[in-house]
Amino acid sequence: MSKIILDAALVERLRQSDETVELCDPEGNVVGLFTPKINPDDYEEVGPPISEEELQRRINSKERRYTTAEVLRYLKGL
């Protein structure tokens, strides 16, 4: 992989973005995309917490389980 060293001003502009940024030449042609590196610690969990009891119930359950491939196959068939 190649490495390009950016000047401090551009680094600061990129760090201020929280979404993908198009990198363009002086004529406005896109030469690439910059996707910011995220830190998962900066985000809170979404949804209610699952209790230990519920986790154990799910582990011990005899209910049918489906793989991701099975779910996708089912959804494509709708």
Handedness of CA 43, 46, 51, 54 (dihedral sign): negative
pTM above 0.85, yes or no: no
Q: Write b or e for each residue in 10-27: b if 16 or more Cβ atoms lie within 10 A of its Cβ, otherwise e.
A: eeeeeeeeeeeeeeeeee
Give per-residue pLDDT as tens, 41-67: 888 888 888 999 999 999 999 999 999
pLDDT at position 18 is 87
Give per-residue pLDDT as tens, 3-26: 999 999 999 999 999 899 999 999
Q: What is the dihedral of CA 68, 74, 76, 78, to 10 degrees?
A: -150
